[in-house]
Amino acid sequence: MENQAAKELLYKMADDALIIGHRNSEWTGIGPMLEEDISFSSMAQDKIGHSWALFKILNKLGENEPDIVAFTRNAEQFHNCQMVEFPIGEYNFSLVRHFFFDLAEYHRYEMLEDSSLGDLAQLARKIKGEIKYHVLHAKTWMKNLGNSTEEAVSRLQGSLNELYPMALGMFEPSPFEDQIVSDGIFGGESELMSKWRSSVMEIIDQTQLELNIDGDWNPLYGGRSGVHTEHLQPLLDEMSEVVRTDPAAEW
């Protein structure tokens, strides 16, 4: 059942990208500055494109067409981590989420560049180049705001503390963890998490922010197996509403 391990990985990656893409597109028109408005919209478009490319690989492995998979499943059939489904909140919440998420994505795609699943390896090499800009954006703003006014620093600090346990949910181990590693498809969540933690700390250490990564954190698990907050279903309803009212809407 090699496919099953690959599918689990592809679904959670695709769902993460799809959901955070739709969340971040909510900043369109309301960003704190025009540049940030454009950045979040542009990154959202990238993410939705990435989810589509992943759904296409799933389609080749025997799953339904991308638009069916994206717009007709219910919340309990989604495998995104819970972090990405929360409403956009204040700008500092969305920024810290973007920082945690994109650093993880970057390392995930980097690890997948030589995946034994050829289509995924090819896609990873391409996407890694794009995510560099997302990471660049996140790091720049974390460093800017993390070294600015007392108020900005304290707001960011609040979001860091709130989001860190949610972010750990990105690395919820899969039931296929051993298999996916031994099949050479992916190096595994725990290796990914350790790369991610060093990259996170490298930036935090250049700011006035603090994060005790060895603290007693309680990771927000569940998303990978279809357990979600009350925020996901309304978002999915909204997404498929757009498709129903405008079947030609392009993503």
Question: Under the rule (CB under 8 A), what is the footprint of other proteins?
Answer: 35-36, 38-39, 41-43, 45-50, 52-53, 122-123, 125-127, 129-130, 132-133, 136-137, 140, 250-251
Closest CB to other proteins among residues 138, 166: 138
Upper half-sphere CA count for residue 215 (Cβ side, 13 Å): 11
Name the token pair of 131: 């995510």
Q: Which of 109, 92, 80 is nearest to 209 (CA)?
A: 92
Give the single-character DSSP code of 174: P
As measured in angstroms, the least distance from the Cβ of 48 to other proteins is 6
As measured in angstroms, the least distance from the Cβ of 41 to other proteins is 8
Closest CB to other proteins among residues 44, 209: 44
As measured in angstroms, the least distance from the Cβ of 117 to other proteins is 13
As measured in angstroms, the least distance from the Cβ of 128 to other proteins is 10
Please state, as a whole number, how many other Cβ atoms lie within 10 Å of the Cβ of residue 229.
16
Closest CB to other proteins among residues 28, 225: 28
Name the token pair of 214: 């060895």
Give the single-character DSSP code of 82: G
Closest CB to other proteins among residues 143, 231: 143
Q: Which of 226, 227, 185, 243 is nearest to 65 (CA)?
A: 243
